[in-house]
Amino acid sequence: MHTFEQTYLGKVLLRGLRQRCPRCGRGRLFAHGFTLYERCPVCGWVYEREEGYWTGAMAVNLVLTEVLATALVFILIIARAPAWVVFGLGLPLVALLPIIFFRSTKALWMSIDFILNPVPLR
């Protein structure tokens, strides 16, 4: 019996969560900050497949941000928090979460792409 980590899906998702190359699992995706390497420093896999490739990462980032912000707002409304608290926490959250999730959603998008368009792993 295989564990999740031994399956193609498991390997690729875990590599994405660790922000590693989805192909080899060893190369880092980011040089520093928000600067993505052009290709994997270990196996040479080109990270940006085509123009517009990162549109999917932006969509993942948007959905994740909106789900978390909406959950917070609902919790605050159910707790009968004043409107200034709801807006005071909700608006900054909506502005900051896309920045916080930038690297993770790019890595996750690359993993999703590998799952949808399988490539032999190394």
**Lowest pLDDT segment from 11-20, 25-34, 109-118:** 109-118
Is 53 inside a domain boundary? yes
Question: H or E element: which one contains 36?
Answer: strand 35-36
Residues in the chain: 122
Is 122 inside a domain boundary? no
Query: For 3-89, where are the E strands, in sequence order?
Result: 30-32, 35-36
Is 19 inside a domain boundary? yes
Q: How many domains does the chain have?
A: 1
Q: How far apart are CA 25 and CA 31, in angstroms?
A: 15
Q: How far apart are CA 88 and CA 105, in angstroms?
A: 25
Cβ count within 10 A of residue 56: 17
Question: How confident is the model at residue 86, as a pLDDT?
Answer: 93
Structure tokens at 67: 């789900």
- Tell me the average pLDDT across 46-60: 90
Is 101 inside a domain boundary? yes
Q: How confident is the model at residue 1 (pLDDT cuts 50, 70, 90)?
A: low
Q: Domain containing 26: what range? A: 4-116
Is 82 inside a domain boundary? yes
